[in-house]
Structures are given as structure tokens and as C-alpha cells.
Structure 1
Amino acid sequence: MTYTYSEAFRRLAQELGFADDPIKGLVHLRHPGELANWTLPVVEGVMIGGAGLGLLRALERWRRDADPNLLAVWAGSVAYLMAIEPPLYFPDAFHMPEYLRDVFAHNVFSVQFLHEHLPLYIIALYPAVASLAYEIVDSFGVFSDNVLLGAVCVGFVHQIFYEIFDHIGPQLKWWIWNTDAPTNSPSLGSVPMTSVFQFATLGPAALVLLAHLIVGRKVDRGETISGRSLAGRSLAIGALVPAAVALVSTPIGKLGERFSPRAALGGSSALPWVVAVPTLAAAWRRSRATTVSADAATTGAEGSSWFGVTYGSAYLAAFGVLWGKALPAFRAAKGGVTSEGTRIGNLPYTIACGAAAAAALAGVATAGRQPARARRGLLRAGLRAARTGSWGAVRR
């Protein structure tokens, strides 16, 4: 049977410019030069490159440091995507409620899946930004003190990086939000506040918390995890994230019904700032005041923060260029809409996110070593030594 777009999706695709093209199959490739504008292949490269680097870093930590947590976050984020994205594209097949149908439409990129609904760069976005947020928070040693607090900090760091992207995408025709969908109101500029709270903040926090509960606790008990077990646990993590998001979002929604949806969602999105900023600042000060022996420092995952600093810096530099491209039309916009008919984001909030992201990267680059993390590294080194018999390499 031939697949056809729904009426609402066709309207969104018409605004993006591809509604009249023949509907492609499950996988379709395009030349990057044929896309709507040059920014589309750039954002593809940023996200796909970040996912690749994040996977390399996760494998490095697992093989070298016996630390599978980052790999669980990486794989779990992909499982999370597969749990939430396809139902939004095919609501009839998944019996989705009316308010979750045709919430948005992606533009067509170089690599597309699922009849033009899902670009490859969106698949890459999940592990790229989640891994970056986890690596930054973990480099401060927050998880050694409090896993729940560490998850909240990841939600904050993910928000500040992701919203730089979220507030420019609709203007540059990367995707379009359906303003008729009830879940997309209220909004902050072009971005629904549900996206800021549920997707940019709560989802990554839940992902990391579940990764530590399902994978991290086993490692902290000194147990090893096989590749098959890690794969199964990562699938479970991804499958449980939507339930965790729904569990937390329900009382927020009730609060919004009683008072104001904007206040409830805005306050919920701002709370991680209130918690994470002083937490990360205190962790950075502790790291600067603490000296750990070189032997201990190099046994743990903290021996290198190349992924957080390198990819985080490249991410901010790339989006600096992209925002430079967007600013002229942004300034000339009237009523929140550019001359090309695309909606603009909220610039002050984006600047605040960019400044916070730059500060986080500066903190990672200048942080010292955390004693708890070094002890964790010694534990893992001890486990490796027990398996290999090379105890001479483990010294205090």
C-alpha cells in the first residue's frame, strides 16, 4: 500500500518546501548541495560528528577504565529516540492520542529515514548532546557525591547546549512546529516550552539517572558487565525514559492547569539552573583545591576530558557561525516571523545558554582532580589487575 502524508503533515511539509516531492521510501539519500540552504549540511555534520566522537569516548572509557556509564548513556539515548520518535511519525500505527499527532515536521536532509520523517542528524543528536552533557558533569566529580544531583546537573547542561540549537532551527528551516497542536503552547519564541522542559531538560536527566541505577550501581559494586548485558540494559534505559518523563510531567501539568502553564513549565525548566549552577561551581572549586597523586589521577576516567572540551568547543563555534547567518533576518523579523515566513527564537535566552555553556567548558578545562573519582579509578584498576594478575600497576 502506498504511504501518504496526513493532511496536517502535508501542510507543514508545504511550508518547508518538500510537500510536492514524491514520497521517498524508508531510506533516501540526497546531495548536500540540493538542500534548502547551506546550514542544513552544517548542522548534520555537527551532530553526526558529535555522535561519532561520543561513541569513541564511551568505548575508551569502557575499555581503558572499565567504566561503561557513558556507553550506557550513548546507547540508551538511541534507544530513547526509537521509543519516542516513530510513534510521533506514525500515530495511527501506535494509537497515539490526538494531541500528540503532527506536532512538528523535519525538513529533508542528506540522509532521511521513514518516508522523509526522520533525518539521520536527529538520530545523532540524541547521543551527541547527551554524551556531551554527561561528560561535562562527570568531569566535575558530581556523580561521586550524589547521583540524583548529578542527573539534575546533566539536565541543566543538556538544556544550555540543546537550546542554542532549538531556538535557531525553525528560522533556518531545519524543522517546523505545528502551532495548531495543543502541546506546542505556550512557547518561548518559536520553541514550545514543553520541548524546553521535557525534551531538553527532563529526558536527559532521567536517562542519566536510569543509566546509573541500571548500570552504574553494578559497576560500583565491583561487578563487570558484558557487552550483551550492557546492550540489554541500554535498551531498558531507553524504554524507561518516556515513562519517567511522563511520571514527572504529570504533576507539572496539573500545576499548570491550576495556575499557569507558562509559569509551571518555565519554573520547572529554570529549577535546574538554580540547583546546577552552584553545585557545579562548588565542585569546580573543590577540584581546584584538591591535589591527587599523578598515579591515582591517571587510573580513572578523569585522566582525559578531550571529548567534552573538544566537541563542546566545536559545537559552540559552529553554532556561533550559524547564529551569525540567522541574525540579519532575525533583526528584521516582524511579529516574530522573518521575511521568509519562518519563526524566530528567543535571543536573550539563547545568549544566556551560550554563556553558561562556555562557562561549563571553561570549568572542565581548568578543573583539578576529584579524590572520589580517583578512588573509583583505583577500584577499576584493581578489578583489571585481579583479572590479569598485574597487581604491580595498582599503587596508592
Structure 2
Amino acid sequence: MQCSTIKQKIKKVLVWSQKITKTDMVYVAHGTFWLTTSQAISAVLSLLSAVAFGNLLSPETYGTYKYILVIIGTLAIFSLPGMNMSVMRTVAQGFRGSLKRALTEKITWGLIGGILSMILAAYYGIRGNSIFMMAFFMAAIIVPFMDSFTIYNGRLQGQKRFDLLTKYNVLIHAGTVLATIITLFLTDHVLFLLASYLAATVFFRMIVYRKSEAVAETADILNKDTISYGKHLSVIAVVGTIASQLDILLLGNFLGATTVAIYWFALAPLNPVKTLIKSIVNLSLPKFANKDIRLIRKTLPKKIMQSAPLVVIPTILYILLVPFLFRWFFPQYTSSIFFAQLAGLSLLFFPEKFMGAALMATEKKKALYWNNSINAIAHIILLAIFVPWLGVLGAIISLLVHHVIALLASLFFFFYTPE
């Protein structure tokens, strides 16, 4: 009884606060609670993983491990990553049927990535690099399935079941981290580490997909428009995905595996924060999907301005705490401290994520193509110029300048896209 009374009082406060924020605070509080819980657990798991890798593996070996994973992640773009967002939009509009058609499309297109991985395996085999050859041979089997089973995200986000989404994502993350850390204690061989990570990722994602599919309420199948829009979003994401991986690829090719490790650890503390921001953006997608772009243009900028202190203050705290974090947990990577602090400034550019989400949810295809293409091409050009010249510092500078360009482009397309 007392618990119920407390809940009612909290709800009253949230309803009252809507007069100030002009936002559905009950929805935000419910969704944010689960997202925050998920991110808190994920942050701990990521820290455990990073500490294990940072102290049990040499920078050279870890750099090789990350370099191969980045290439595998790039090959996975053929698995139609945009299908998840398309499914989310359809589910938010009332679809409650099976996602098997979307899964089949993702796996079928993912076979292209598997074939390319086999070609890479043959290439490295000819060059006498047995580790890379075996790594990409394994990847050829895994790639078509690795990201395909994540289609469950679209269903749960569209249904606003952030509680289940949290539980499932924590299960996947915990299972993958546990498998990798156990392997790390047994061996420091790159191939065994890759095998455990890839196998655990596919296994746990497959389990979660099957659980989410079991709750389908009807026998309906996805319509052609959902599949078509998912392919559109995937094409839009291709250049951006390549751009997001290019920093590691260039550093690995120009400066070697150790530099890759230094750079990755400079970004590692940021990853949980950026994942939280991405989750908050995803929280807004079902809301945007049912609103007209004209209404979003009127309300979103004011909400972003009101929430600015919630980003500025944590950014300052992050920059101040980074040196202590590295000295305590990553003593092998103190050379990453300055780069990590500089990269922390990227947190200030979060508003462009919401504007891009609004364009995606309201199906502004042409604006999305132009916006994502400009952002990705600009990032690729910046990386191609600065990384060979300045190394890790060049990659960080490229990241920050890219965020400025992305913000300006998102502002333009958000306000000036035809209705």
C-alpha cells in the first residue's frame, strides 16, 4: 500500500513537471529507468572487460584483436542494419506479427559479407599471414548471422518494452564478456579470443531473438514497405559505417597494432556514455514515429536547449576524472589520457542525434541520404588527411571536426526538409 502511494506521488510530480519540460515525463522516466539500469550494468561489464584486456594482453596483441574485429564489423553492414529501425517504426504503428521475414532478408544479404570474408581469408593465406587467414575464415561463417538476430531490438523499441530490452541486452553483454574473459585467462592467442567473442555474440543474440519472436501476437508478416524502407536505411548507413571504422583501419595500416590499442583505450571510457545517448535517442523514436515533422520542429529545439546543462556538466566531470581512471585501471595506457580528454568534447554535440532520429522516424528518405552522406564523406576526408599526418591526434581532431559538420548538416536538413 505504501509503495503504491509513493508511486502515485512520483507520478504526480512527473505530470506536474510536464508543464515545464513540455515532454511526456512519465514515459521518459519509465524508459530512462530501464535504459539507465541497462547502461549502468553494461558500463560495469565493459569496465571489467577493458581492465582484463588492458592488464592481461599486450598492446600489440590487443591492437591486432581490435583491428580484425573492426574489419568483421565492417563486413556485417551487408546484414541490413537499417532493418531494425524500419521494424521499430512499423511496430510503433501497431504491427504485432512475426519478424521472420526481416530476419531472412538480413541473413540473405549478410551472405555477401561472408563471401567477402572468405576472399580476405584467401588473400591473407596467399600472403602467408595464417592468423588473419584463420580469423576471416571463422568470420565468413559468423558474419551473416552476427547482426541479423538483433532484429529483436526493433520489436521491443517499437512496443516501448524497455524493461525486456534492458534484460535481454544485459544477458547478451554479460554472456559475451564472461566468455571472452574466461578465454583471456586461459590464453592470449588472438584466434581463440576472436572465436569466443564471435560465437558467444551469435549464440546469445539468437536466444534473445527466439524469446522475442515467441511473444508475437498475430500470424501477420511484415509488409513490403517495411522491408523496402529497411533496405533504404541500410544503404544510407553504409558510408557512415565505413567512416566510423576507418580510423582504426588507417591507424592499423599506417602505424601498427600498438597505436590501434592506444587509440581504442582513449575512446573506451566514452563508449558507455555514447551508448547511453544512443539509447535515449532510441527512446524518442517511437514518439517521433507518430508525430508530424512540423510539430517536432516546434518542440524539439526547446527541449534540447533545456537539457543542455545535463550534457555540459557531465562532460566537464568526465574530462577531469579521466586521468584517475587510467592510472587506476589502465596503467599500461597512460599515453591515452590526453587523447581521451580531448575526445570527451564530442559529448557536447549530442543534439544532432535527435534531429537525425526525427528525420528517420518521419521517413524523410531524401534528407536522410543527403545528411548521412555529407557526414560520412566529410569524416572519411578528414581521416584520410589527418590520420597519416598526426596519427592518434589526427583521428581525434577528425572526430571533433566531423561532429561540428554533422551538427550543422542535421540542423539544416531538420529545419529545411520539405514537409
Higher percent of residues as helix:
2
- TM-score, L = length of structure 1: 0.28
Report the TM-score, using the length of structure 2 for normalisation: 0.27
Q: Which has the higher strand share?
A: 1
